[in-house]
Amino acid sequence: MLLGVNIDHIAVLREARKVNDPDLLEAAILSANLADQITIHVREDRRHTNEFDLENILKYCKCVVNLECSVDMIEYALKYKPSRVTLVPEKRQELTTEGGLNLHNEKLQKAINALKQEQIEVSLFIDPNLEDIKKSSSLNADFIELHTGLYANIYNALYTNINQTSYALPELILSKNELKKLLENELQRLKQSASLAKSLNLKVAAGHGLNYKNVKNIVDILEIEELNIGQSIVARSVFVGLEKAILQMKALIKR
């Protein structure tokens, strides 16, 4: 299984003080030597990474670069030409991406066509449901990335003490049996979605909320060939360093 390291959260730390420390390019070069690709998300509000980061990383990192962006930001993808663009939904008020793309956005097919014309691989970040898999195929995407956020939230509610903290999600304050059932259902949705995508010749990635504790169930879905993980790797790096954090995740996802 391939590992993409999302370095946005290093940029979050940089932006906290508005200085070039930590240096995102240094993080990208280190990560590129250990992982299979670098992922960055240039948001419309430039809250962490920006187009200068994208240009710099593409110039100096000789690795696969996966740019996450909204449909309204593809001008930067067309200008700088990363290896892959993952189209994601985006809302200014959200802390992080909250769900999959609306595949019926009238701008989406035009964006996909423009990217593919420039020989940029296109991935769609979608919720794990069969209709969205079929639609992704009809849109002529190369990849789909399954949103694992709900799986991760249920896992946390079931196997950690998060429900006793201020970070609890009200809809997941349930009995253990109810949470186990929800987790089984969400894993089944992920498995069915990955299987259908593979049968339609779509490459399958997954990401969002994955960490060192919950990743094993996703690794066991053999149709998924790549994981994109950021926050948990960067959080672990505070204690063990970025290199060791990446290597520890690589060891966990090894098949």
Q: What is the pLDDT along the chain (255 residues), one digit of tens a residue?
A: 999 999 999 999 999 988 889 999 999 999 999 999 999 999 888 878 999 999 999 999 888 999 999 999 999 999 999 999 999 986 655 445 567 899 998 899 999 999 999 999 999 999 999 999 999 999 999 999 999 999 999 999 999 999 999 999 999 999 999 999 999 999 999 999 999 999 999 999 999 999 999 999 999 999 999 999 999 999 999 999 999 999 999 999 998
Residue 188 annotated as binding? no
pLDDT given at position 19: 87
Q: Which CATH class is domain 2-253?
A: alpha beta
**Residues 54, 30: Cα–Cα separation, whole Å:** 16
**Residues 28, 23: Cα–Cα separation, whole Å:** 9
Written as six digits, the tokens of 246 are 């990446």
3-state SS class at 91: coil
Residues annotated catalytic, as ranges = 41, 68, 208
Distances in whole angstroms, Cα of residue 30 to Cα of each of 24, 34, 56, 165, 239: 10, 7, 14, 35, 17
Q: Which letter, b or e, does each residue of 61-86 get, where b requires 16 or more Cβ atoms within 10 Å of its Cβ?
A: bebbbbbbbbbebbebbeebebebbb
Residue 17 annotated as binding? yes
**Residues 53, 7: Cα–Cα separation, whole Å:** 11
Residue 33 annotated as binding? no
pLDDT given at position 152: 97
Q: Cis before residue 170, ω within 30 degrees of 0?
A: no
pTM score of the predicted model: 0.93
pLDDT given at position 5: 97
pLDDT given at position 45: 84
Residue 241 annotated as binding? no
pLDDT given at position 94: 45
Half-sphere exposure of 48 (CA within 13 A, CB side): 20
pLDDT given at position 97: 53
**Residues 227, 128: Cα–Cα separation, whole Å:** 15
Residue 119 annotated as binding? no
Listed residue (253, 249, 248, 242) closest to 29, CA to CA: 242
- Residues facing 228 on adjacent strands: 4, 207
CB atoms within 10 A of CB 241: 12
Q: Which residue has the tokens 């097919």?
A: 109
Q: Which letter, b or e, does each residue of 156-165 get, where b requires 16 or more Cβ atoms within 10 Å of its Cβ?
A: bbbeeebbee
pLDDT given at position 225: 97
